[in-house]
Each structure stands twice: as C-alpha cells, then as structure tokens.
Structure 1
Amino acid sequence: MSRGENESVVTLWIWIGIGLLFLTTLFITLLIASYTKSVKKNKQKVMQMVRNTQSECWENTLYLQEKDRERLAEELHDNIISRLNLIRLNAHYKNMNELNLDLKNSMQLIRELTHNLTPPDLSEIDLTDLLIDYLEQVKTNIKVDFYPLIVNENSINNQIKLNTFRIVQELINNTLKHANASLIKVYLRISRQYLILIVEDNGSGFNAKNQATGIGLRSIQLRTKQIKAHYKLKTQPQRGTKYIFFVNTIQQ
C-alpha cells in the first residue's frame, strides 16, 4: 500500500473515530437530558403528593375539630342546658336543699364534659387510668366491663394515647346513641410493642356498608390513620358491634 493510501486510511479512521465520539457524546447528552427531565418530573410528582398530603391532613384536622365541636354542642344541649332549664322551671317548687343538689349535679356534668373534651396532661396520666376515669362516668348510663392487660404502658406516646382515648369516646357515644345496648365491653392490651383495643356491645348492630359514614366512623378512620394504626369493624343487624383496633407503638 502506497503512502498516499495509508494516509487516506488513517484519515478515514480519524473521521470514523470523530463520528463515533460525536455519536457517543450525543447519546450521553440525550441520556442526561432524559434523566434530568425524568428527575424533574418525579420531583414535581413528589411535591404534588406532599401538597396533597398536607391538604388532606389539614382537611382531616378541620373535620376532627368539627366533630369535637358537635360533641360539645350536643352535650351542652342534651344534658347541661336541659338540666339548668328544669332547675329554672322548678325553682319555685323546690326547697334550697333540692336546688343545691340539682346545681351540684349540673356542675358535675360540666366538669365531666370539660374533662372529656380536654383530658389531663397526657404525660402525667396513663391511658389505662384515663379510660377507667371515663368509663366510670359512662357507667351511669349503661353497664360497662373493662378488661385491661398491661405489660409496658411506657411505650405509648401522647399522640397514640389521645387518639385512642378519642376513639373510645366516639365508639361509646355511637353505642349510647344508636345501639340500644345494655352492655359494653372494653378490652385493652398493651405489650412492649403493640396496643390492641376491642370495644364491643350487645346492641342492635347495623349494616356497615350502608352506614359507613353515618355513625362517626369517618372520625375514627381519620384518627386511626393519624397514628398509622389498623382497625376492623364487625357488625350485623341484631348481632351487636365489635371494633378491633391495633397499632405498633414502636414505629411511632
């Protein structure tokens, strides 16, 4: 092969190399651009999910606040205002001792209402004691059996404690209003890692599919979601209702 031919071959391979380098660079550039676009798109999705989650949390918080306000309004109207109105109507027909007793009972109802809406400092009281105190008040309206089995209550943080307490309140409130029950049983199991709550009654039960949002279940679902818990509702018409609640306390 002549010198000119060798130079031509070398030149050809140089151009081939340049072409391959250009194609490789172009491929890498396109790959980087595609990756950057994908990252940006995924980041936008994540940000949108965060915004949606924040919005959902805010809506859930507002809903729970509204439920607490409704509970307060109902308690004020059904119990305290009605009782005070009776005292006013009967003021001319009762002696001072009877009026004092009626006022004392009304004051006790107000204290109970305040306690139920704003529990004591959660860091200063165990969930078991909080429930015992509340259930003692409920016993004036219905028979209540409480079965605690506690291994380590220190594993429960205040968020779990408060939401569990509110869930029990909501469930018992539903039973008193709708179930026509004569007995409520509450089981509480607390181990080193898990909390299990069972609330059941011997009432009329209901069709869960037809009344999934009609008896305060949404409030219970939201509180359960807030502490990453799981729950199951078992009920049938005329067969009573059982609510099973489970949470891993270590993961909080």
Structure 2
Amino acid sequence: MEAWQKPETIILWIIIVGIFLVVLLTVIIFLVRAIFKKIIKAKEKEAKTQLAYQQNLLETTIKTQEIERHRIAADIHDALIGKLTAIKMEQEITQKDQKTIEALHDSIAIARRISHDLSPPLIEFTKLPELIKELLYPWEQHVLITAIYDIRHDTNETDDFKVQITRIIQEIITNIVKHAEATQVTLHLKQTENYMALYISDNGKGYDTGSNSKGLGTKNIETRVQYLKGIYKVKSNIGKGTSNMFLFKN
C-alpha cells in the first residue's frame, strides 16, 4: 500500500483541507463584513452630510424670513406710521374732518399691530408669557381664549426661541379663527428647569389628520418645531376640535 493511501495520511489531508476551507471561509466572511461596514459607514456619512445640509438650509431660511419680517416691520413703524401720525396731527390741528381723524387713528393702530406681529418690540427684555399675552389680545375679540401659565422655573430663553414660539402660536390661532369655526381656545404653557411644554386646543370642527394634504400654515409650524429641535403632535377629530402639543427641551 502506497504511503498516501494509508488511512492516517488520508485523514491528515482531510484535516488540512478542512482547515484550509475554514480559514478561507473565515477570510471571505471577514472581507464581506469589512465591505459591508465600509458601505454602511459611507451611507451614514452621506446621511449625516445631507442632514447637516438640510439643517443649515432650514436655519438659513428661517433666519432670512425673520430678517425680512424685521425690515418690513421697521418700514411700517418708521415710515408708514410716521406719515399717518403726521397727517392725523395736521387734521387734528385744523379740525377739518372728525371721520378722517378717526380713520387715521384706526389705521395707525392697525399698522402698529401688524408691525408688532412681524417683529415684537423689546423682545430681549420681555418674558415669553408676556409676549404670548400680547399676541393673544387682538384675537380675544374673535374667540374666547383661556390661557394658563404654569411657570415653575424662570428660564432665560433666547430671543430666537421666543420669536419662533410666538410664530407657532400665531399660526395656530390664525388657523383656528379662519378655518376651525371654534368658539373656545385653551392655551397652556408649562416651563420647568428641563423642558417647556405648550398645549393649544379648540372646540372647532376638526379635520382629518391622516390626510396627506398639508396647508402652508401646518408646514410652517413643523419647520419651526424642527428648527428648535422640538417635538410636535396634533390630534383632531371631525366635530370634536383639535389639540396641538409641543415639547422643547432646555
């Protein structure tokens, strides 16, 4: 019997081939895993780059909007209101037409309100609850508003944060008055050391939240919440009103 035909030799070769196959399979698995990890890392890097781009675009868009709002508000306050006031004073001195004076007075009040809505004055010195109260005041002649302020911690919000929150509330109240046919609105603001929660509900006609069609107002709200890295949930039932819930971490 030849040496290679001996059972011991055959078994040895089988062991060697088996070890070779195991090593080869291990190398193949290692290479495949390495390739997959490389692909996954590349995808994660691409996703992070895309997310950073979208975040920068979002911040740029919102900041540009606020700059333009501030410019328009300044033009209204410095130019339009100034001219209207001058005309009103001239009419008051001559006392020519009382109806014209009253119309000018109303026009100045409307222009001042629009200017304040576009860019709240002295926002850096005003706390968020006070800004909200001032914001809600003009709407109280259209709908009954119950506002609750649960301030458990006096936080120092940035001017940007206060502006975005007032924009969100403006958008919701406008939607309620224009579309919801509501008679009552409840606003609940809660501030703690760790978070700020905002809840706004109405007793209006409600709508189908499952619908894919979103109005510009809803998209603006979602954009601002995303910009502030907050959480936004809305619940609505046909005929039973709508609830908007927001959570922002400090």
Instruction: Give the TM-score normalised by the residue count of structure 2.
Output: 0.67
Q: Distance in 2 between matches of 1:149 and 1:208?
A: 29
Indicate whether 1:147 and 2:148 are aligned: yes
Please provide the CA RMSD for this pair: 3.6
Contact 2:187/2:199 (<8 A) preserved: yes
The CA distance in 1 between the partners of 2:165 and 2:109, in whole Å, is 24
Q: Aligned equivalents of 1:67 and 1:156: distance in 2?
A: 20
After superposition, where does 1:148-187 map in structure 2 within 5 Å? 148-187=149-188
Letter matched to residue 122 of structure 1: I
Q: Larger deviation: 148-157 or 43-52?
A: 43-52
Closer/same/farther in 2, CA of residues 102 and 62 from structure 1, 3 Å limit: farther
* Cα separation, partners in 2 of 1:125 and 1:212, compared to 1, 3 Å: farther
Which residue is equivalent to 2:218? 217
Matches within 5 A, 1:1-252: 44-45=42-43, 47-61=45-59, 64=62, 96-210=97-211, 213-214=214-215, 216-249=217-250
* Cα distance in 1, alignment partners of residues 173 and 208 from structure 2: 18
Q: Is the 8 A contact 2:58 2:227 kept in 1?
A: no
Going from structure 1 to structure 2, the CA distance change for 1:232 and 1:178 (only over 3 Å counts) comes to same
Distance 1:120 1:56 in 2: 31
What does residue 7 of structure 1 align with?
A: none
- For residue 113 of structure 1, report the CA deviation from its aligned partner: 1.2
Tell me the SS of whatever aligns to 2:141. Answer: coil
Identity of aligned residues (%): 23
Which runs of 5 or more structure 1 residues have no equivalent in the other structure? 1-30, 77-83, 85-94
Consecutive unaligned residues in structure 2, runs of 5 or more: 1-29, 77-83, 85-95
Q: Structure 1 residues 187-196 or 118-127, which shifts more?
A: 118-127
Q: How many aligned residue pairs are there?
A: 202
Name the SS of the counterpart of 1:154 in structure 2.
Answer: coil
Change (3 A) 1:199 1:212: farther
